[in-house]
Amino acid sequence: MTIEVININKRFGDFVALNNVSLDFPQGELTALLGPSGCGKTTLLRIIAGLEHPDSGRVLLDDRDASHRHVRERQVGFVFQHYALFKHMTVFENVAFGLRVKPRAERPSEDQIRRKVKELLELVQLDWLADRYPPQLSGGQRQRIALARALAVEPRVLLLDEPFGALDAKVRKELRRWLRRLHDELHVTSIFVTHDQEEALEVADQVVLMNKGNVEQIGAPDQVYNHPASPFVYGFLGNVNMFHGRVQDGVLASGDASFAVPGQPQADGKGTAYVRPHDLEIDRYTPGAEGIVVKLRRAHAIGPLAQLDLERSDTAELIEAVMSNERYSHLQLKEGETLVVRPKRLHVFVDAGVAI
Ligand code: ATP
């Protein structure tokens, strides 16, 4: 099923939770709604599900207006952060629940229910837990059962609200890979809410970046990561160094350093270069070397990467850099040493309307 939301507005009192949001969710794709706490992700998900009504705007399911369709008629399956499995029912009965409460005419036979539940438990790889009760499961297992239960009624859309939010980091990582594999098998149009950028970038086909009720950017993970549309997106999708300065004739002057502004010619004005820690080239300082002169404050080299805390000699601002541990060992850098760094990749945003 395709999902489209058009010009959705939602306020709670004076607070604007969603500001004219329009989005497409293509058939069979997994979309991540990503953004900081309170940006409106859950509200949008609830509006698509029919649990919440927008003040204005429409929700189209398979190109048909579903704005007035009841939640039960939208054929959506849900999984929430705090799974609501029935504690007094076995895993088997939890998964069977949605099938048993179907109207009599649509209800499968007991035999069909058994077969379907077995199939779903195999799909989530937990068939060996069929007779257990939810309190006897780990958090990760409960989430997989919650997913099996949501899938039992063969939803045409799957909505997941921070499905792994309550789990520890390691289980979370395992489960998100597992969710991706499951999605590749089922191809149900799915939307999941997360505030974890790594999770969104790793799992989703498309990422929707939200901020304060607005959509900042929508695109494939590599597109939003490598071509952020705004400083907000740049900052939200990973660690970033900011070099503030002034742009004139395609050159950003920042402290004693200057950089060519890549890409389209931009207006002159106050600007900031955004550079990711691994996009910095680092060398020992030699007089006349081009780049930003820094002091190595601290280095932390564990595993394949060395993380360097640097301090600019001109502005005393801190810079975070990452290089391979191999190169770091080869250079034999010492704390306190003077180095020079050059951005290999940078993105400059000129503040709109701010003249030099
Ligand atoms: P989180 O990641 O913290 O769950 P979110 O992006 O999912 O955040 P929403 O739950 O959509 O955010 O909430 C958006 C804003 O609307 C928040 O500031 C929230 O406090 C507010 N809000 C949500 N539901 C209501 C409500 N029923 N009444 C009043 N305000 C609400």
Pocket lining: 74 vs ligand 1, CB cutoff 6 Å: no
Assess whether the C-beta atom of 41 lies below 6 angstroms from ligand 1. yes
Angle at 121 between CA 97 and CA 155, to 5 degrees: 55
What atom of ligand 1 comes closest to residue 39's alpha carbon?
6
CATH of the domain spanning 3-236: 3.40.50.300
Average pLDDT, the chain: 91
pLDDT tens readout for residues 314-343: 999 999 999 999 999 999 999 999 999 999
| Ligand 1 center from residue 49 Cα (angstroms) | 16
Q: Whose CA is nearest to atom 1 of ligand 1?
A: 37
Query: DSSP letters of 174-211?
Result: HHHHHHHHHHHHH--EEEEEES-HHHHHHH-SEEEEEE
pLDDT of residue 354: 42
Which residues on adjacent β-strands are paired with residue 338?
295
| 254-278 residues labelled b (16+ CB within 10 A) or e (exposed) | bbebbbebeeeeeebebbbbbbbbb
Burial class (CB in 10 A: 0-12, 13-18, 19+), 157: buried
Would you say the CB of residue 14 lies under 6 angstroms from ligand 1?
no
Cα of 40 vs centre of ligand 1, distance in Å, is 6
- For 59-114, write each residue's pLDDT tens digit: 999 999 998 888 888 888 888 776 678 999 999 999 999 899 888 888 899 999 99
Distance 213 CA to ligand 1 centre (A): 10
With cut-offs at 50, 70 and 90, classify the pLDDT of residue 40: very high
Nearest CA residue ID for atom 28, ligand 1: 12
- Quote the Cα angle for 277-264-283, to 5°: 30
Distance from Cα 150 to the centre of ligand 1, integer Å: 24
CATH 2.40.50.100 in the chain, residue ranges: 241-350
pLDDT band at 355 (very low <50, low <70, confident <90, very high): very low
Closest residue by CA, ligand 1 atom 2: 37
Q: What is the pLDDT of residue 52?
A: 93
AA letter at 17: A
CATH 3.40.50.300 maps onto the chain at: 3-236
Residue 264 has a pLDDT of 65
Q: Which residues pair with 91 in a beta bridge?
A: none
CA of 42 to the centre of ligand 1 (A): 7
**3-class SS of residue 52:** coil
Q: Is the CB of 36 under 6 A from ligand 1?
A: no
Distance of CA 356 to the CA centre of its chain: 36
> Does residue 141 have its Cβ closer than 6 Å to ligand 1?
no
**Separation of alpha carbons 321 and 305, rounded Å:** 10
Supply the pLDDT for residue 265: 63
CA distance 38 to 19: 13
Q: How confident is the model at residue 276 (pLDDT cuts 50, 70, 90)?
A: very high
Mean pLDDT across 298-312: 94
Rounded to two decimals, the ipTM of the complex is 0.92
Q: Is 195 close to ligand 1, i.e. is its CB under 6 Å away?
A: yes
Task: Find tokens 């970033």 and name the residue.
Answer: 240
Asked if residues 325 and 303 have their Cβ atoms less than 8 Å apart, the reply is yes
pLDDT in tens, 120-146: 998 888 999 999 999 999 888 998 899
User: Which tens digit of pLDDT belongs to each residue from 168-221?
Assistant: 888 888 888 888 988 998 899 999 999 999 999 999 999 999 999 999 999 999
Give CATH for domain 241-350: 2.40.50.100
Does the structure show a pLDDT above 80 at 353? no
- Greater confidence (72 vs 5) lies with 5
Q: Is the CB of 46 under 6 A from ligand 1?
A: no
CA distances (Å), origin 88, targets 79, 92, 94, 113, 135: 19, 12, 9, 19, 9
Q: Quick one: what percent of the chain has pLDDT higher than 70?
A: 97
Distance 97 CA to ligand 1 centre (A): 30
